[in-house]
Each structure stands twice: as C-alpha cells, then as structure tokens.
Structure 1
Amino acid sequence: MMTIQKKIWILVSVVLLIMGIIWLTLTSYNQKTQEKSNDILQRYLRMNEVTTASQQIITNLNNYLLDPTANHKQQIEKSVAVIEEVQQDVAELRNVENAFSITNYIHLIDSLIETTNRSIMFSEEQEMEGSTNEFNEANRISMYISEMTLTILDRELKTSNRFYRGIIKQSEELKKLGIWLLLLITAVLLLAIYWFSLSITRPIHQLTKAANALSQGSFNQQIEVKSNDEIAFLAKTFDEMRVNINDLIVEIQQKAQLEHELQHSKLLLKESQFRSLQNQINPHFLFNTLNTLSKKAYLDGAEETSDLIVSVAGLLRYNLKRIDRSVTVFEEVVVLNQYMEIQKARFTDRLQFKSDIDESCLDVKIPGLTLQPIIENAVIHAIEPEQDGGIIWFRIKNDGPWVIIEIEDSGQGMSPKKVEQLLKGHIIPIEGHSTGIGFQNVVKRLHLFYGIEDLVTIESREGRGTKVVIQIPRAREEGNDDEASNR
C-alpha cells in the first residue's frame, strides 16, 4: 500500500536526488578547475625555484673561491642538491607544447652543476685561472637559466590566459544552465504537487459523497475509492460499517435466539446435576448396608466374612471420597491391601502377594486410585487365566528425589508391540478381557497431577511376566493439587 507518508517521502527524495546531482556536478567541476589552477601555480613556483637555486649556487661558489673552507664547500653541495631536486620536478612539467624548451632547460641545469664542480676541482688543484674561467662560465649559464625561465613562464602565461578565459566562458554557461535547471525543477515540483494533492483530494471527495448518501438512509450503494493509501483503507472500513448496519437487526435476532438456547441449557445442566446427586445416593446406601452386614456377621461369629465385608466397604468408601483429590502413598497402600484381601478370598492359594515397602516414602502425595487399577490388571491378566495362579510383587523404593513403585506379576507377559500400543493409549483385548482404559486413566492423572510426562514405563516379555514401574517425584509445584482436582 502506497501510504500518504510514503508519497511525501518519494517526492522529497526526488527533489533531494535532483539537488544532489546538481551539487555533485558543480563540485566536480570546481574541483577540476581548482586542480588545474594549482597545477599552473606549481609550474610557476618550480620555475622560479630553479632561477633562485642557480643564483644561490653562483653566490656560494664565489664565497668558496674567495675563502675555500669546508663550510663554504658544504653550502655549495647543499645548493647543488636543491637544484637537482627541483630539476626532477621540472622534468615532470614536460608536455607536447614545451617538450623542447624543458629539455634544453634541464640540460642547462646539468651544465651548471658540471661547471660548478670543475671550478671547485681547479680551485682545489691551485689552478686559479681555470677555476676563474669555470666560475665565469657557471655565471653565464646561470644567466641563461634565468632568461629561459622567463621565456618558459611567458609561454605558460599565454597558455594559462586561454585556460582562464575558458573558465570565465564556462561560468557564464553554467549560470544560464542553472537558470534553466531552476525553471525545470520548479515545473517538475508543481506537477508533482498537483499529482500528490489530486491523489488525496479525489478519494476524499468520493468518500464525502458516499457519506452523504449513507446519511440519507441509502445502505445499498457500495463505496468504492480507487486509491492505494490510507484513504482507501478508510473507505473500505466505511463500507464494512455500512454492511454491519444492514446486518445489525439479523445479529440482534440471532443473539436473542442464543440467549433463549442458553437459558434452556442452564435448565438441562441443573437437571443433570440433580440426577448426579441421585446417582450418588445409591453408593452411599450400599456403603451403609455393607457396614450393617459386617456388624451382623461379626455378631453371628463369622469373623472372616465380617473382615471381608469391611474391606469391601472400605474400598467403596475410598472410591467415593478419593478419586478427585490427592492422597498419600500410605493411604493407597492401605486400600491396596484391602483390595488384595478381597482377591485372596476369591483365589485362595492361587494368589500370592508379596510386598517390599520403604516406609520413608509413605508420606509422598499421589492421585487417588493410582495403584489399585494396575494391581487389578495384574490379577485379571496374570492370575485369573492361570490354573495354578501366580505371584504379584509390590515394591516401593527410595531413589533420592524420586519414589519408585513397581508392580510385577508372574503372568505370560506381552510382546513389545502390545507394550508400545498400551503406552500409546490403545485398548488391547486379552483372553476375554480388555486392558488399557484403567491404565491410561492412571497415566493421564499422573501427568495432570505432576505436570511431567513419561512417569510410567512397562517392562514385559512373552512368557516372563510384566513389570509396571511408576516414578513419582518427591517435590512438586504448589497449586498442582488443586489444579489436578479441578481437572
């Protein structure tokens, strides 16, 4: 979407781009002109340095001939070094127009240096006449250098004059170009501003026209704005508002219908709660009846029958009160023993139950009815099908921050495939029974209670029994108990 802000930024960017191009062009032109001027100035300075250096050599040579000391000779060597350095710079000034003059100029400098050296040599050999002749020759060469310097500079001035006149002419042309560019930029900006204002005012006019029609009660005319900025989004929202107003009455009717259905659902919920309360009456009545029968059997001398009825009553009471809350491992062990007493009465010598319990683990919290469904599966699938019965081992171990509960039987076991299916929540039919419902209920409640997965594992091989291992953490986050109960 091309927003209004983006359009403004595009317009500003175009203007800045044009101004930047003009500025870069003028800066580049000024830089080249300045470099050319500096180059001409450096040529003048180098030529002047040659004249000054040659005259300095003559002066130092004269001083040496009058007083041939080491100091004066050292000054001559310094002057010669200076003119040699300047000579290299002058060689770089050679071009097509002054190649011949610069070459002669360099040769004169070489002649001056050689003549100076010969004058010094004759002076050191005490040949004063030869030394004086070489001095006069060096002085004459120095004068030639000065004259040729003036000649070359005069020629350079004529060339520079043409250069400066060209600069003046280009400046006048740049002035005219600047005027035309200013007019062109002004025209472009006027067109851009007109296009920008039109892209804003036209959609606003269309939106205003649609709003007037809407205020007169015309809700059937669709609002269309051909734009791609915020005004188009506003028009689309305005059109959605028109549609919403048309649908408002239908929505109110639907809401009234939903409220009616909600009131009906509330009545059904109350009826369901009442029926649930009625269903709870029968287990409590059965529990009270079992207590009465237990006392009657005890009074009649049937103590084993009385104990069995007490175990059934305790198991029923535990099921009624503990399924929705946490208990201690001790309470689970108590109800487990009651369940096993009932099963021992049923299977007599066919069932052997062996337990090994670490009493330091009995105060750990656990969801209610966690162990009894697993023991029940062991009785159904490991003891009941076997003619000679079997053994069930029940162990509770302390493993640092964990409590390990093991329920092992001596049954026929399961294949790895059936173990995997059981852990994944599948219901497995085994010899007229099915397993998986109660087991998965235990697994899910443990996960909800502790907030940890994979607390239950199964170790089983065909023909070698089955072991169910439950890992219970000693410490758990506060509030999980209530959360598990609510779930």
Structure 2
Amino acid sequence: MNSIQKKIWLLAMVVLLIMATIWMSLTYYNQKMQDQYNNALERYLVLNELRNTSEDMVTALNNYLLVPTDENSNTIDRSKKQVQTMQEEVASFKNTENELALTSYINLIDSLIEVTDRALVFHSEEGIENARKALNEATYISNYISEMTLSLIDTELKTYDRFYRGIITQSEELNQLGVWVLLLFTFLLLLYTYWFSSRITRPLEKLTRAASELSKGRFDLKIEIDSKDEMSFLAKMFEHMRNNINNLIIEIQQKAQLEKELQESKLLLKESQLRSLQSQINPHFLFNTLNTVSKKAYLEGSEETSDLLVSIAGLLRYNLKHLDKTMTLYDEVNVLAQYMNIQKARFTDRLTFHTEIDESCLDIEIPGLTLQPVVENAVMYAVEPNEDGGQIWFRVKDKGNRVTVEVEDNGPGMQQQKIKQIMDEDQQHDTKEGHASGIGLSNVVKRLRLFNGREDVIKIEGNIGSGTKVTIDIFKEKGVVRDDQAANR
C-alpha cells in the first residue's frame, strides 16, 4: 500500500535526482572550460617568466664580471637552471602552428646558456676583454629572446582567439540549456505536485463534509474513502468515532432518564431529612438563649458570667457558620481569644496563655476553625492532666512567602508514633482525637494541605517530657498538589 510518506520520499528522490544531474553537467562543462583557460594562461606565464629569467641571468653575469664573488656566481647558476627548466616546459607547447617559431626560440635559449658559460670561461682564463665581448653577445641574445617572447605571446593570442570565442559560445549554449532544463523541471514538478496534492485533498474534502454533517447532528451518514494510504485509515477511524458517538448519545439519553429518577428520589430523601430536623434542637435557638442568659446575668451584676456566656455564644456562632468556609487569620485569632476566655474561666491560674502576633499577617486567608483545634489539643494534653496546670505560647510571624503560626506547650510531649499517625493521611481514619469542636488534628492537617495545595504545611515536634510544638505554614501563593500526592488521597 502506497502511503503519503512514500509519496513524499518519491517526490524528494525525483527532485534530488534532477538537481544532481544538472549540478554534475554544469560542473563538468565548467571544469572543462576552466582547464582550457588555465592551460592557455599557463603558456603565457611560462613564456613571460622565461623572458624575465633570461634578463636576470644576463644581469647576474654583468655583476659577476664587475665583482667576481661567489654570491654572484651562485645567482648565475640558479638563473641558468631556471631557464633550462622552463625551456623544457616551452618545448611541450609545440603544435602545427607554432612549431618553427618555438624551435628557433628554444635554440636562442641554448645559445644564451652557451654564451653565458663562455663568458665565465673567458673571465677566468683569457682575460676580461673576451668576457666583455661574450657579455655583449649574451645581452643581444637576451634582447632578441624578449622580442621573440612577445611575438610568441601574440601568436598564442591569435591561436587561442578561436578557443575564447568557443568558450563564449559554449557558455551561451549552456545558459540556454539550463533555462530549458529549469522550465522542464518546473513543469514536471508542478504536474507531480498537482497529482500528489489531489490525492490528499480529495479525501480531506470528504472528511470535511462528513465532519460538517456530524456537527449538525447527523450521525447516520456512512463515511467511505477509496484511497490506499493513511487517509483510508483516518476515514475508518472517523467512521468508528461516528459509531461510538452515536452509541454514546443513546447511552447518555438512558443515563439522563436514570438521573431524573435519581433526582426525584433525592428530593424525597431531603424532604424526610427536613422533617427529621424539625424534631431536633435548633442551634440558633440555643445561641439566642445564651445571649438572653448573658444579658440577664449582666443585669443581675454577674459580669464575669455574662462575659463567659458571650464568649460561648460567639464561639458557638463561629463553629456553626464557618466550619466549611475560608476566613481571615484575624477572625481565627478573635475566636481563639473567645475560646481562651472560656478555658481561663475553667482553669483560672492553672492556664497561662502567651501571645506574640504580627498584626500585618492577619489579613491572610485560612480555613475556618483551624487554630482552635490545635490550641484545644494543647489544653487537653498539656494543661488539663497536670495538677499545676501549664503554659501555651501562640505566635504569628511573617516569613516572606508565607505566614507561620506556632502553638507550643510545656506539657508531657507527644510520642513519635502518634505524630506519624496524625501526619499520615492513610492512617487518619484510625485517629480518635476529636474534641468538643468536632475537628481533630488529623482533619486540620488534611484541610490545610487541601487549602495550600501542598504537603509541607504543618509540622509537629515533640518528645516525651519536652512539650509539643505545632508549626503551621500558610503560603501567600497557593501551590498545586502533585499528581502522586493526589493519587495517595
């Protein structure tokens, strides 16, 4: 089965093959012309260098005759070797058109070398006069070589004039060939692109029309595509999805009917619950009664009893209304003060309550009824069992990104196993430290973790005989519970 990926690879292979063919052809012709051009240029450079070297050799000979030093003698030898080397290269330039001229040119070079050697011999054996005559002859031959070099270069230019014109003609033909190849390649590419795109767009159009019909709620239209690539598989999956949606709609309708019946049952249950509540004591009635008793006690002169009843009524109202709500730390501190008034009336001098509160932190939000269970736990285990009573320290501190609340007592402390049981949510169903508020430390831990969206919100420190310290962190920016933590819950 031909897939879309195979078609794309085929298109890429065709494009690469055509591009490689064009590149290789252009490279071949370009290299061929470059070689011909380099060959012609090399002939001119060798001839010109040979002329310059022959002149340098005559100059070195003259210097040697004037000042016969070893350095000048070595210069003559180097120049002579260079001339001989270039003479061999010039000999390879012969062709039918310049054979006679090059033969004469090579003979002149031999004559120049011979006269130079003769001048050196005359200088060492027969005297300076003969050496001067040989120098003049070498100078004459060198000048003639220079003139003949120019003549040869001119002949080479005339010879290669046809070559340069041929290069220009080939370049024009190559440009025309490139244009035609480009046009042919563009036409073939457009043709193949149209065929390739139509093989994809036609099935997509069918899928689009099918999706449009599905959006209108028509789930009875079958989707069929006859392509042999991924579009066929996509159409099958689309058809499978249509069937699933149709079945899901039927299932939802059935569930809706069941939900309706369930709602009717819930309404009947709520009605029975309301009737049951009518037989119970109304908490608000109890709250109003406490207020009435408080006013009566105040009128009779029992101001302490009146204040105690006011604190009990305020505590009752807070517990009834704010258990499932988010409150400010200010409200929690106020209700904690009412609770401690009640406990001080109970324990008198046996209970000492120290506070250290940063007023700038009291605007932060906290779950309702969080502080009272923690302090209540300290009262029950650090003050009540001790005949001499106990002390409780309550602190609110600003720690930058969080507000820290500390509740510390000087009681008998708490076992590590108990601390682990409170902090471990998997074991919290076994704890039984519920108090008068109905909220235990385990529930406080759970509510704080849910409220802050993280685990590290509370810390309990305590060992037997050293008291207990509970530290609560209220983060100013709430975190997000990790997936693994949520799964554990």
- TM (norm. structure 2) is 0.59
Q: Check the 8 A contact 1:314/1:338 in 2, yes or no.
A: no
Q: What residue in structure 2 maps to residue 227 of structure 1?
A: 228
Q: How does 1:275-314 map to 2 (within 5 A)?
A: 282-293=282-293, 309-314=309-314
User: Are 1:392 and 2:408 counterparts?
Assistant: no
CA RMSD of aligned residues (A): 6.4
Q: Cα 1:82–1:267, aligned 2, differ >3 Å: closer, same or farther?
A: farther
Aligned counterpart in structure 1 of residue 353 of structure 2, from 339, 355, 369: 355
Q: How does 1:11-26 map to 2 (within 5 A)?
A: 11=11, 14-26=14-26
The one-letter code of the counterpart of 2:465 is: G
Q: Percent identity?
A: 37
Deviation, structure 1 residue 369:
2.7
Q: Distance in 2 between matches of 1:128 and 1:109?
A: 19
Q: Write out per-residue CA displacement over residues 327-385 of structure 1, whole angstroms, 9 at most, x where no aligned residue.
A: 446513421223314642xxx78xx211223476398246443332112222333445x
Q: Distance in 2 between matches of 1:446 and 1:57?
A: 104
Q: Cα 1:198–1:105, aligned 2, differ >3 Å: closer, same or farther?
A: same
Q: What residue in structure 1 maps to residue 381 of structure 2?
A: 381
Aligned counterpart in structure 1 of residue 339 of structure 2, from 336, 340, 344: 336
Deviation, structure 1 residue 441:
3.4
Q: Distance in 2 between matches of 1:105 and 1:39?
A: 24
Q: Cα 1:395–1:220, aligned 2, differ >3 Å: closer, same or farther?
A: closer
Q: Check the 8 A contact 2:291/2:309 in 1, yes or no.
A: yes
Q: How does 1:191-202 map to 2 (within 5 A)?
A: 197=195
Q: Check the 8 A contact 1:329/1:362 in 2, yes or no.
A: no
Q: Write out per-residue CA displacement over residues 179-203 of structure 1, whole angstroms, 9 at most, x where no aligned residue.
A: xxx9xx999x989968984995699
User: Are 1:461 and 2:463 counterparts?
Assistant: yes
Q: What residue in structure 2 maps to residue 415 of structure 1?
A: 415
Q: Distance in 1 between matches of 2:89 and 2:262?
A: 102
Greater alpha carbon shift after TM alignment, 414-423 vs 139-148: 139-148
Q: How does 1:174-213 map to 2 (within 5 A)?
A: 197=195
Q: Distance in 2 between matches of 1:250 and 1:133?
A: 123
Q: Check the 8 A contact 1:207/1:225 in 2, yes or no.
A: no
Q: How does 1:39-438 map to 2 (within 5 A)?
A: 39=39, 42-43=42-43, 46-47=46-47, 50=50, 54=54, 87-90=84-87, 110-115=113-118, 127-129=128-130, 131-132=132-133, 135-136=136-137, 197=195, 223=224, 225-229=226-230, 231-232=231-232, 235-236=235-236, 239-240=239-240, 243=243, 247=247, 250=250, 253-254=253-254, 256-257=256-257, 260=260, 264=264, 267=267, 271=271, 282-293=282-293, 309-323=309-323, 324=325, 325-326=327-328, 327-328=330-331, 330-341=333-344, 343-344=346-347, 352-358=350-356, 361=359, 364-365=362-363, 367=366, 368-384=368-384, 386=385, 388=387, 390-396=389-395, 404-411=405-412, 413-425=413-425, 426-427=427-428, 438=440
Q: Write out per-residue CA displacement over residues 35-58 of structure 1, whole angstroms, 9 at most, x where no aligned residue.
A: 245325523652476468658988
The one-letter code of the counterpart of 1:461 is: N
Q: Check the 8 A contact 1:312/1:342 in 2, yes or no.
A: no
Q: Check the 8 A contact 1:115/1:135 in 2, yes or no.
A: no
Q: Distance in 2 between matches of 1:69 and 1:223?
A: 107
Q: Cα 1:280–1:241, aligned 2, differ >3 Å: closer, same or farther?
A: same
Question: Aligned with 1:464: secondary structure?
Answer: coil
Q: How does 1:436-475 map to 2 (within 5 A)?
A: 438-446=440-448, 454-470=456-472
Q: Cα 1:455–1:94, aligned 2, differ >3 Å: closer, same or farther?
A: farther
Q: Cα 1:275–1:46, aligned 2, differ >3 Å: closer, same or farther?
A: farther
Question: Aligned with 2:466: secondary structure?
Answer: coil
Q: What residue in structure 2 maps to residue 34 of structure 1?
A: 34
The one-letter code of the counterpart of 1:378 is: A
- TM (norm. structure 1) is 0.59
Q: Cα 1:409–1:93, aligned 2, differ >3 Å: closer, same or farther?
A: farther
Question: Aligned with 2:440: secondary structure?
Answer: helix
Q: What residue in structure 1 maps to residue 71 of structure 2?
A: none
Deviation, structure 1 residue 114:
3.1
Q: What residue in structure 2 maps to residue 73 of structure 1?
A: none
